[in-house]
A and B are shown apart, each in its own frame.
Chain A
Amino acid sequence: MQTASILIEIGRYYLMAGGVVAVLFLAIGIDRVEPSSRGSYVFRPLLVPGICLIWPLVLYRWIRLEKHGEDAR
């Protein structure tokens, strides 16, 4: 019982943090690191679930692409 509620709580906070990352990334990051997405807005909401699920990876790639540009691809 205890463990289960803790797991669910962790999951909830994880997804909430993902939501914050999603807003930041779609508002700021995506135009900076993904040239092909400049000017396209319709497809962005589609990325929200993915960002919420794997936001640590998104942050990692965002930082890498900011630092190393296209070389990181």
Chain B
Amino acid sequence: MSVQYMPVIWNRNKIVYDAVLLIAVALYLYVYIRVGPAFEDVTRPIDGAILRMRAFGSCAFLMLTVILCIGPLARLDRRFLPLLYNRRHFGVMTAVIAAVHANYVLGWYFNFSPTDQYVALLSSNTNYGQILGFPFEAFGIAALLILLVLAATSHDFWLSFLGAPIWKALHMFIYAAYACVVLHVALGALQGPGDPIFTALVAASVVLVSGLHFVTGRMEAKRDRGEQTAQASLQEQGWVIAGDLDEIDDTCAKVVTLSDDERVAIFKYDGKLSAITNACAHQNGPLGEGKVLWGCITCPWHGYQYNLADGRAPAPFTEKISTYRLKLVGSTILLDPNALPPGTHVNPIEFGGDS
């Protein structure tokens, strides 16, 4: 059932995505390193290594901001979906840029220290009890560790091996990483001589990320409530819950039992849903066990065929079976248990995409 694993799966869209990403990152770093020295003054001398360290640090921060905005944006407007689609390459690149930033820190601040660079980094400031002069590097280290773990577990293998719940929980740590980075910057770079542009950028990022999540959270809660009332009112009118969209495999059916001798087969095909009686007009064969082809179901017993939209056998045959009305509320399928007269046309429910 599964395909073999490949190191990286690229297709045209992903190549374009990665190329745009790489160009944007390179452009950002280039401009930062070129334009940065113009803001140099006596209080903030900027030399090459520090400048590059800052360029990579701020680049990683901005990338993390964008990553966290993509999710809610895609929920607000489907046009952002292409961004979501290859987010993992974005994440891996962010981890790489952040690692380069940390490497510059090690190379620059601790290059001449007699102790081991890593030891020096951890021990140079241990004032964990105070806010001003807090060892903000610790937050950077925590964030970098998280980003590295997430990048290292972004391959499809990990989703399957760890199982979706663990994998998703693990990748929720991206929010912890973001919080750590904000603290890293707020307690570090922002404590120094004021830099209005960077301060504004960090503030804008925090407002954007939390604002977008707040708005989409509200929106989804509202939609859920709307779906619940819609569902409740349909149930009041006698409709029954037939199950969830995900329960049905493509071109297959779910059979719902209404009473001892009334079963309904709900088919999923071509991004649509249709419901017909499960009983074939020939000898009551189980239509729900058949497969859909070209919008037609073939009875597994003797091969009678019916159009799913109207329950009629294709010409020249004249058999007719009952159809049923369906509604899709969110991802819940509701069924009107009153059979329509055999051969009644019912517009299939389109749920968009047969992914």
Contact = CB atoms under 8 A, between A and B. Distances in A.
Contacts of B115: 1
Interface stretch (B2-10, B34-42, B343-351): B2-10
A69 interface: no
Interface string A40-57: 101100110110011001
Contacts of A73: 160, 163
A49 B152 contact: yes
Contact of B161 (A8, A40, A61): A61
A66 B150 CA distance: 25
B149 A53 contact: yes
B133 to A, nearest CB: 18
Contacts of B162: 57, 61
A50 to B, nearest CB: 4
Contacts of B122: 3-4, 7-8
Interface in A19-53: 33-40, 42-43, 46-47, 49-50, 53
Interface in B146-197: 148-149, 152-153, 155, 157-158, 160-163, 166, 170
Given A33-B161, A53-B148, A42 B7 contact: yes
B149 A54 contact: yes
Interface residues of B, number: 27
B119 A50 contact: no
B200 to A, nearest CB: 35
Which of A4, A5, A34 neighbours the largest number of chain B CB atoms within 10 Å of its CB? A4
Given A8-B119, A43-B157, A53 B152 contact: yes
Given A3-B123, A53-B149, A37 B116 contact: no
Nearest to B124: A4
A36 B4 contact: yes
B118 A8 contact: yes
Interface in B71-128: 115-116, 118-120, 122-123, 126
B5 A50 contact: no
Contacts of A61: 161-163, 166
Interface of B: 2-7, 115-116, 118-120, 122-123, 126, 148-149, 152-153, 155, 157-158, 160-163, 166, 170
14 contacts: A1-B123, A4-B122, A8-B122, A33-B161, A34-B161, A36-B4, A36-B157, A43-B7, A46-B7, A47-B155, A47-B158, A49-B148, A58-B161, A73-B160
